[in-house]
């Protein structure tokens, strides 16, 4: 029984981190119709910003916003300098569909190489602000700690704020309108390009939080070659696809589903099936619902 | 205040979709732009609102240059374009579609006043504020599109084939509403239409485009009376 | 497809083969090894050109298909001592079966969804090797193809043997691929890629066509995987990381993903870059960290530049440049239309 609860808790915590990553992917997809494979790389870079803040200022609570702002800035920069140019140039041609995918893969490689070159040799560690020792429930230790609680609460708050932004604010309306129909948005006076950059910035910030939490939730160390990074890379994307790529709620659900399934597979089936589990889940979900769990009907022929 | 278009030329690849077009529209005028398919009417409007790039010529509204500017900035000069095909965003609600039109205006109070005005012009929209735009009928969508354009308090309205795909009675309604808007709000309107008769009936002046060039201009009455125009576009 | 053209191609390939053979006798061991790697990359990249350039399906996980081929060949060799050529055939077959399965799952997906599935596969599949002891777990298996036959002489080193086998395999698969790409199947793929609905209306069963593309692409990739392991000597999960799949995609884009003609460009670049990076790093006296990351940085930057400026690849760019000039000349010589007196 306690094992079941622990499995659930681990899955939900990990899943909420994947959800943040998935949200980043969905935000970029909705505003630019591009799958940003470099998102995890940007999250990695942001985490390094957070690390530097930790080193110089010794406070996680400062490091987290620093990472978020850094992530937003990097994302905005990439959108302004890189994506606009790319999308203009690759509008035609045989590989116009896949060109952005490949370009972001290239970007991922560049970010990876650069971060490895700059920070590679150091033993980079980030320690969370609260302890990661599990609460006690009678004689058992729960796989739930103050840190995990913090992560969960932060993710819930962030998702809540994001949905408020999207549904209730003018900026949110601009974001949605620009995503659904850029031309009509322009004709309504919305600066669609600026809005798109905003979408990317939000994604960058979201990814930064995912990166920071992924690190402190694990053993505290991270690098471009670490397992945590590969996991972030793949899980964010897969969670977004499972959820349907078009809605933030879908991203959250996708993240939770992925987190829970991986957790259960690890605990009850076999730990070395860890890596193949995302593949199987993805296949199953897409087989039953090719548009993802909450996917919109139109967008599959991307 | 007027719309001055001079020697406007717009290319589609190697073809001149709009070829050396010159005309002017005074404030408060309702001008009908008619012509067959491919005459360049839509391209003309799209160029005036900034969606297409002109290769030659000039176009100004109230002295503001309309060419070489992004659409979202041209709106701020008082030019509102309702593009072809019921230009609403289906995934947003009626209310949100309307709000979209006024987003760029900073004053919140102003835009809520505007919404009330629009609803008084188009009561059907008022009944459906919370519904998604894709649940609306064709006529309602067209009204929503025009309503959205009106929310930005334009000085000149560019309408691209508002009657397309609508039932005759609805078309009548919409044309009447457009006429009323011009008269009551002092709005300037450039009305592009395939429905030449309906457009000329409510217009003050008319322009006939053929293969990108201006073929005839004149008052609406004179165009209706012109035998060549009648034969080519009015069907009798 | 003209018979003459087919024969011509065959001659070209054989001629190329002789040249390769002659070259391998005069060049040192490192170059021979690199030559073998180039041949392997040629095969792998061409499989991506078929899948992505012709059939329009993005695979981020070709590394997994290479792994299937490599493992099947190694297991056949180790457990049943099957002769090499047969091992290669089995590698192709096994990977092709993987391709059929993957293709069937993928036929309904497109764009990002397909990319996601293949990405997940690329990460998940190689680690399966840890599950089954017959696959050797983390350390993997040894893939020993033995020594070159004695009749080739004493000087014939093992690397030359590898080079020979891979080049021959490359020539054969290139010949096969170029023929199938020119055939009705190739046309079907391209039609499906440009506009699936239109292709279906024209009577093409796009679903089956896509699966076929995946199957053949996978088989070829399996061959490349087996040959890759042959040159390395072992098969293990670490030989097929995500980076491999990305490298292959990069190579395909560098070559020009829509045509087979440029495939050598990508292959040579991929093999040459680590060396160029070494030279650069030594020149500027860079630290160890920079040195290890320089190849990755160069490959990724090259990829970005290619996608931005030469998206169809150098060969296609040249061709279309010439074609555009020709069209422009023709348009200029056309009479101008007149619109006098019309309303």
Question: pLDDT tens digits, residue range C110-157?
Answer: 777 788 788 888 877 877 777 676 666 666 777 666 666 665 666 667
* First-to-last C-alpha distance (Å) of chain B: 37
Give the pLDDT confidence of A52-97 residue by residue, as tens digits.
888 888 888 888 999 999 999 999 999 998 888 887 776 665 566 6
How many domains is chain C partitioned into structurally? Answer: 1
Q: For residues C28 and C249, which has the higher predicted lDDT (pLDDT)? A: C249
Residue A124 lies in domain: 2-300
Interface size between A and C, measured as CB pairs under 8 A: 163
Residue C180 lies in domain: 28-241
Q: What pTM, to 2 d.p., does this model score?
A: 0.83
**Angstrom distance (rounded) from CA A248 to CA B202:** 47
Give the pLDDT confidence of A243-288 residue by residue, as tens digits.
888 888 889 999 999 999 888 888 877 776 777 788 888 888 887 8
Partnered with residue B190 across adjacent β-strands are: B31, B158
Task: Give the residue from A166, A183, A185, A225 showing the smallest Cα distance to A26.
Answer: A166
Mean pLDDT of the region C56-76:
87
B210 contact residues in C (CB cutoff 8 A): 339, 342-343
Reply yes or no on whether the pLDDT at A180 is more than 50. Answer: yes
Minimal Cβ distance to B76: which of A173, A181, A189: A189
pLDDT band of residue C341 (cuts 50, 70, 90) is very low
**Cβ pair A282:C117 closer than 8 A:** yes
pLDDT band of residue A155 (cuts 50, 70, 90) is very high
Assigned domain for C181 exists? yes
Q: Which domains does chain B have, with CATH numbers?
A: 2-234 (3.40.50.300)
Mean pLDDT of the region A175-194:
90
How many domains is chain A partitioned into structurally? Answer: 1
Minimal Cβ distance to B228: which of C331, C339, C343: C343
Assigned domain for C342 exists? no
Reply yes or no on whether the pLDDT at C1 is more than 60. Answer: no
**Angstrom distance (rounded) from CA A100 to CA A113:** 20
ipTM confidence: 0.89
Quote the Cα angle for C22-C28-C31, to 5°: 85
Mean pLDDT of the region C38-49:
92
pLDDT at A95: 61
**Cβ pair C342:B211 closer than 8 A:** yes
Mean pLDDT of the region B108-137:
84
pLDDT at C18: 66
Range in B29-38, B91-100, B225-234, C142-151 the model is least confident about: C142-151
**Angstrom distance (rounded) from CA C52 to CA C193:** 9
Contact A115, A42 (CB under 8 A): no
pLDDT band of residue A301 (cuts 50, 70, 90) is very low
Q: For residues C31 and A23, which has the higher predicted lDDT (pLDDT)? A: A23
Contact C229, C235 (CB under 8 A): yes
Reply yes or no on whether the pLDDT at B108 is more than 70. Answer: no
B215 contact residues in C (CB cutoff 8 A): 342-343
**Cβ pair B80:A180 closer than 8 A:** no
Instruction: Please give the radius of gyration of chain C, using alpha carbons only, rounded to the nearest integer.
Output: 22
Q: What is the mean pLDDT of chain B?
A: 89
Give the pLDDT confidence of C272-295 residue by residue, as tens digits.
888 888 888 778 777 777 777 888
**Angstrom distance (rounded) from CA A24 to CA A200:** 8
pLDDT at C94: 92
Task: Give the residue from A130, A132, A153, A131 showing the smallest Cα distance to A61.
Answer: A130
Tokens of C51: 């899948």
DSSP code, position A182? H
Residues 6+ apart with CB under 8 A from B51: A183, A186, A187, B71, B81, B83
Classify each residue of B165-203 as buried b or exposed e, where b means 16 or more C-beta atoms within 10 Å of its C-beta.
ebeeebbebbbebbbebbeebebbbbbbbbbbebbbebb
Torsions phi, psi of C68, nearest 5? Answer: -60, -45
Mean pLDDT of the region C303-308:
84
Q: For residues A295 and C250, which has the higher predicted lDDT (pLDDT)? A: C250
CA distances C119 to A38, B25, B58, B139, Å, are: 14, 58, 52, 47
The C-alpha of B234 sits at a distance from chain C's nearest C-alpha, in angstroms, of 13
**Angstrom distance (rounded) from CA A147 to CA A154:** 10
């Amino acid at each position: 029984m306690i094992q079941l609860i622990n499995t659930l808790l681990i899955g939900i915590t990990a899943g909420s981190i994947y959800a943040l990553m998935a949200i980043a992917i969905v935000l970029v997809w909705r505003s630019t119709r591009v799958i940003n494979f470099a998102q995890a790389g940007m999250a990695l870079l942001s985490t390094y910003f957070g690390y530097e803040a930790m080193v110089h200022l010794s406070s996680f609570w400062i490091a987290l916003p620093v990472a978020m702002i850094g992530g937003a800035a990097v994302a905005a920069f990439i959108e302004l300098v890189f994506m606009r140019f790319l999308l203009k140039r690759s509008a035609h041609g045989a590989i116009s569909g896949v060109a952005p995918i490949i370009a972001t893969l290239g970007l991922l490689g560049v970010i990876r190489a650069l971060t490895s070159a700059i920070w590679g040799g150091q033993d980079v560690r980030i320690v969370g602000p609260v302890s990661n020792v599990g609460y006690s429930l009678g004689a058992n230790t729960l796989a739930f700690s103050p840190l995990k609680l913090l992560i969960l609460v932060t993710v819930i708050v962030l998702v809540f704020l994001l949905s408020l932004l999207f549904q209730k604010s003018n900026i949110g309306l601009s974001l949605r309108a620009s995503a659904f129909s850029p031309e009509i948005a322009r004709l309504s006076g919305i600066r669609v390009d600026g809005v798109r950059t905003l979408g990317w910035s939000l994604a960058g910030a979201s990814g930064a939080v995912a990166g920071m939490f992924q690190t402190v939730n694990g053993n505290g160390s991270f690098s471009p070659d670490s397992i945590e990074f590969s996991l972030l890379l793949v899980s964010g994307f897969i969670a977004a696809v499972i959820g349907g790529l078009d809605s933030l709620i879908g991203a959250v659900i996708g993240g939770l589903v992925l987190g829970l399934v991986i957790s259960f597979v690890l605990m009850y089936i076999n730990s070395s099936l860890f890596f193949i589990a995302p593949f199987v889940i993805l296949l199953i979900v897409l087989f039953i619902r090719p548009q993802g769990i909450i996917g919109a009907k139109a967008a599959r022929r991307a | 205040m007027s719309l001055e278009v001079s020697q406007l030329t717009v290319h589609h690849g190697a073809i001149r979709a709009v070829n050396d077009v010159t005309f002017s529209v005074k404030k408060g005028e309702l001008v009908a732009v008619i012509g067959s398919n491919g005459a360049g009417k839509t391209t003309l409007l799209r160029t005036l609102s900034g969606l297409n790039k002109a290769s030659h010529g000039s176009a100004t509204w109230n002295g503001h240059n309309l060419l070489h500017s992004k659409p979202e900035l041209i709106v701020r000069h008082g030019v509102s374009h309702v593009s072809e095909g019921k230009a609403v965003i289906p995934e947003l609600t009626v209310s949100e579609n309307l709000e979209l039109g006024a987003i760029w205006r900073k004053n919140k109070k102003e835009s809520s006043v505007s919404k009330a005005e629009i609803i008084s012009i188009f009561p059907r929209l008022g009944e459906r504020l919370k519904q998604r735009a894709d649940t609306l009928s064709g006529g309602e969508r067209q009204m929503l599109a025009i309503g959205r354009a009106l929310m930005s308090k334009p000085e000149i309205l560019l309408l691209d084939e508002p009657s397309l795909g609508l039932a005759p009675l609805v078309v009548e309604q919409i044309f009447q509403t457009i006429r009323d808007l011009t008269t009551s709000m002092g709005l300037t309107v450039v009305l592009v239409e395939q429905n030449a008769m309906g457009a000329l009936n409510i217009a003050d002046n008319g322009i006939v485009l053929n293969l990108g060039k201006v073929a005839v201009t004149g008052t609406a009455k004179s165009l209706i009376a012109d035998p060549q125009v009648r034969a080519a576009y009015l069907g009798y | 497809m003209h018979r003459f053209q087919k024969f011509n191609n065959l001659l070209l390939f054989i001629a190329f083969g002789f040249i390769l053979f002659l070259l391998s006798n005069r060049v040192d061991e490192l170059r021979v090894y690199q030559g073998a790697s180039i041949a392997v990359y040629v095969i792998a990249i061409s499989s991506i050109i078929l899948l992505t350039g012709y059939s329009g399906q993005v695979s981020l996980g070709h590394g997994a298909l290479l792994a299937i081929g490599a493992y099947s060949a190694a297991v056949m060799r180790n457990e049943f001592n099957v002769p090499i050529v047969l091992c290669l055939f089995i590698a192709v077959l096994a990977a092709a079966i993987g391709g059929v399965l993957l293709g069937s799952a993928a036929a309904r997906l497109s764009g990002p969804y397909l990319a996601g599935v293949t990405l997940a596969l690329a990460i998940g599949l190689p680690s399966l090797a840890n599950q089954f002891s017959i696959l050797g777990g983390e350390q993997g298996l040894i893939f020993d193809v033995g020594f070159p036959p004695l009749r080739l002489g004493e000087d014939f080193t093992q690397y030359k043997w590898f080079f020979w086998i891979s080049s021959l395999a490359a020539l054969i698969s290139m010949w096969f691929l170029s023929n199938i790409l020119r055939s009705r199947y190739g046309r079907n793929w391209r039609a499906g890629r440009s506009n699936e609905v239109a292709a279906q209306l024209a009577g093409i069963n796009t679903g089956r066509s896509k699966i076929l593309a995946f199957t053949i692409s996978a088989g070829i990739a399996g061959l490349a995987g087996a040959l890759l392991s042959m040159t390395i000597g072992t098969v293990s999960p670490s030989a097929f990381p995500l980076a491999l799949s990305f490298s292959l995609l990069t190579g395909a884009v560098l070559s020009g993903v829509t045509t087979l003609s440029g495939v050598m460009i990508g292959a040579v670049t991929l093999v040459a870059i680590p060396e160029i990076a070494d030279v650069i790093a030594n020149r500027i006296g860079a630290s160890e960290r920079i040195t290890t990351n320089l190849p990755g940085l160069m490959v990724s930057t090259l990829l970005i530049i290619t996608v931005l400026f030469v998206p169809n690849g150098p060969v296609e760019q040249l061709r279309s440049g010439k074609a555009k000039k020709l069209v422009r000349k023709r348009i200029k010589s056309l009479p101008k239309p007149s619109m006098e007196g019309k309303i």
